[in-house]
Amino acid sequence: MDQKYPFSQNEADRRQDLNKLTNNGKTMNIINIEHIAKIYQVGSEEVHALRDVSLKINKNEYVAIMGPSGSGKSTLMNILGCLDTPTHGIYDFTGVNVSQMNDNELAKIRNKEIGFVFQTFNLLARSDALHNVELPLIYAGVPASERKERAREALEHVGLADRVHHKPNELSGGQRQRVAIARALVTRPSIILADEPTGNLDTKTGEDIMALFNDIFELGNTIILVTHEEYIAEHAKRILRIRDGLIEKDETVANRYIPKKNGASKI
Amino acid sequence: MKNFLFELKEGLSISFRAIRANKIRAVLTTLGIVIGVTSVVLMSTAIKGIDSAFQKGVASMGSDNLYIDKWEWFNNDIPWWELRNRRNLTMEDYNKYKELAKLPVASAPTVWSTQTVKYKERTVEYIIIQGTTSDYINTTNLNFDTGRFFNELESSGGRQVVVLGSEVAKKLFPRGDALDQEVKIKGHKFKVVGVLAEQGSWVMGNFNPDNQAFIPIQNVFKFFQNQSFRSVTFNVRAPNSQMVNEVKEEAIGVMRRVRGLRYDQANDFSINQQEALLTQIDKTVGVIQIAGLFITGLSLFVGAIGIMNIMFVSVKERTREIGIRKAIGAKKSTILTQFISESAIICLLGGMIGLILAIILSLVINQFLPTSIQVDAFVLAVVISILTGVISGFAPAYSAAKLDPVEALRYE
């Protein structure tokens, strides 16, 4: 695949965006979480999904979050993705405290700063690929002509230039996940949040998707990957292991698995 | 504001996609609204038709007229037996009134009788024969199809001449050659001197001039009934509508003299005005209107409940879609706008179909009843259907808007 940056003509914009996150050239954390806890009230019982979690993630990091089911991994992901707010503690996201924000403010943050990639793709079944990718731009208030252009571009760079008007049920699993990735990238978010992105794919296709993530990472994006599979987590540079609502381990991957750059244009 | 318009525009386009994707459901849902809007539009135009027919009928009587009568037309105060016990108004009374009253531009006595009219083998039964004088024509706004009203000579001479209403003429002379023919009324020959133009005010029934015939008043007394049988009504025309009250005041004074009433005796006659008729008509039409719109409103209400139901189902079914939309940045208001505009569009489509149906149906009904679809029916249909859509879509849309994205994404 041609190794130019997916949005090369907007490279200048991108640099400017990234500069916002630095202070006099010094790297600032995109994510700075301090002692957050999440408590659910189930009937008369309190469930502590997260007990006391602190963590920092810098720009252009590639982090995997691992943990068994019930570990609090999903709760952490929801909070990181601004889908939910912590009961206690402070979540500082791109220099903004989002832990006390209301629904509409969170929606705006999700729209502009976070690109979601889900296990089940979560595309709108009745809309074609282009409209699916356009959707976040619609909510951002981008005018029609510009957003069609940008959506088309994003699809092109995940290797789906010829599938623009296909609906999800006319696409393979791998292609659907590529549409979802294009949708996540199209707003040029600060982080890409991928929840088991290969969970519904066969090994070969999963590997292609991981190659695509690696490309995206190498172009300067920040990726947070939630998974329970060790070999998928090893694509990342850093692994956070969660258990019983606490970070059990925060480790750097010594022998990072780097997939072959074959993915994008192939599927 | 700009933001809201943008949201509305996108909401509408998203809604169009959703409706196209669920065609059958949209059609079924629309059906309720189609029926509702059809009936509301039809009912309102029918009511308008009835009202304008009434007004037209009244207008043909002349708007500056008074009717001096034994009977109070729209009486609410005087017991009916008191009215019955009044002395009949007679031709003598009329002649005295005519002599004494200075203000009216024209006046004429009328007395009616129901008779069968024949021409050769053709017969029309139960025709109201109005006995009157040649002045009668000056107290009305009647026009002629052919011929003329009987003149003063024919009137005072009690000649056997007749002026036919358009319906009567049509039945007796289908080929329109009534003029100068002789018809028989209760066996007596009358020469047709004129045929009235069609008045077209069906509401007045037999009192519509279309269904009447006019002859010199002496003939009524001579051939059909004697003078004391039925009280005479005086048709009095004021010079203009500003003068109506003065003419009325004068009439009261003159009539009290004519009837020889003492100062402490109540009037034994009534001065009727078509204003009273109009008031009565307005009341009647008002009642029809309320009852009609209430009943048709019910069908619209049922349609609205249908929309609400379907929208709730739709929201439930699309919980995951809502979750996705929220995750990638849709605000509450965005989701709310989307679902409300979806239901408004469904209703609007239904309203348009309903309007077309109503137009077709009104053309059919027009054969029996006067209806007229007007521009305001179009506006009514649009406003009602959009309003129904917005109101019945609100609760489902609100339930969609307040969904928690985490829960919604997990929904299977």
Per the model's pLDDT, the better-predicted residue between A42 and A1 turns out to be A42
C-alpha pair distances (Å), A80 with each of A83, A249, B256, B258: 8, 18, 99, 103
CA distance B58 to B272: 13
CB B396, CB B316: distance < 8 Å? no
- pLDDT value of position B83: 85
- pLDDT value of position A120: 92
User: Under an 8 A CB cutoff, do A127 and B17 touch?
Assistant: yes
C-alpha A167, offset from chain centre: 23
Using alpha carbons, select from A117, A107, A65 the residue that is nearest to residue A84: A107
- pLDDT value of position A174: 93
Place of tokens 């207008």: B59
| Residue B132, token pair as written in the block | 């009157």
CB B54, CB B274: distance < 8 Å? no
CB A179, CB A122: distance < 8 Å? no
Nearest CA-CA distance, residue A187 and chain B, Å: 10
Tell me whether A142 touches chain B (CB under 8 Å).
Answer: no
Q: Which residue among B21, B324, B329 places its CB closest to the CB of A126?
A: B21
- At the fourth CATH level, the homologous superfamily of domain A8-26+58-85+102-252 is P-loop containing nucleotide triphosphate hydrolases (3.40.50.300)
CB B237, CB B107: distance < 8 Å? yes
Tell me whether B318 touches chain A (CB under 8 Å).
Answer: no
- pLDDT value of position B380: 81
Burial class (CB in 10 A: 0-12, 13-18, 19+), B83: middle
C-alpha B217, offset from chain centre: 33
Place of tokens 């999440």: A38
Q: What's the whole-number mean pLDDT along residues A35-58?
A: 92
CA distance A52 to A38: 9
Q: Which residues of B touch A50 (CB under 8 A)?
A: none
Tell me whether A121 touches chain B (CB under 8 Å).
Answer: no
CA distance B38 to B362: 10
C-alpha pair distances (Å), A260 with each of A180, A214, B111, B135, B223: 21, 9, 111, 112, 119
Q: Which residue among A125, A127, A139 places its CB closest to the CB of B330?
A: A139
Q: Is the pLDDT of residue A205 over 80?
A: yes
Q: Which residue among B321, B323, B331 places its CB closest to the CB of A107?
A: B331
User: Under an 8 A CB cutoff, do B331 and A126 touch?
Assistant: no
- pLDDT value of position A263: 45
Helix, strand, coil percent values for chain B (each to nearest 5): 60, 15, 25
In eight-state DSSP terms, residue A225 is E
| Residue A181, token pair as written in the block | 């990735």
Q: What's the whole-number mean pLDDT along residues A237-256?
A: 92
Q: Which residues of A touch B17 (CB under 8 A)?
A: 126-127, 131
How much is the mean pLDDT over chain A?
A: 87
- pLDDT value of position B402: 92
CB A129, CB A171: distance < 8 Å? yes
pLDDT digits (tens, 9 = 90+) for B341-398: 888 888 888 889 988 998 888 888 777 766 666 677 778 888 888 998 999 999 999 9
SS3 of residue A99 by DSSP = coil
- pLDDT value of position B204: 58
CA distance B37 to A149: 42
The residue ranges of chain B whose pLDDT is under 70 are 1-4, 6-7, 57-63, 75-76, 200-207, 276, 369-374
- pLDDT value of position B9: 73
C-alpha pair distances (Å), B385 with each of B133, B177, B341: 56, 53, 12
CB B330, CB B405: distance < 8 Å? no
Place of tokens 């531009």: B105
Q: Which residues of B touch A193 (CB under 8 A)?
A: none
- pLDDT value of position B201: 59
Paired with B216 in beta bridges are B132
Confidence tier at A20 by pLDDT (50, 70, 90) = low
Q: Which residues of B touch A107 (CB under 8 A)?
A: 326, 329-332
User: What pTM does this model have?
Assistant: 0.68
pLDDT digits (tens, 9 = 90+) for A175-199: 999 999 999 999 999 999 999 999 9
Q: What angle, rounded to 10 degrees, do the helices at B319-327 and B274-317 form?
A: 80
Tell me whether A67 touches chain B (CB under 8 Å).
Answer: no
How much is the mean pLDDT over chain B?
A: 86
Compute the C-alpha angle B246/B250/B252, nearest 5°: 120
Confidence tier at A13 by pLDDT (50, 70, 90) = low
CA distance B154 to B134: 8
Q: Which residue among B17, B325, B329 places its CB closest to the CB of A108?
A: B329
Which site among A78, A79, A83 would you substitute to test the B interface, given the most B Cβ atoms closer than 10 Å to its Cβ? A83
pLDDT digits (tens, 9 = 90+) for A149-166: 999 999 998 999 999 999
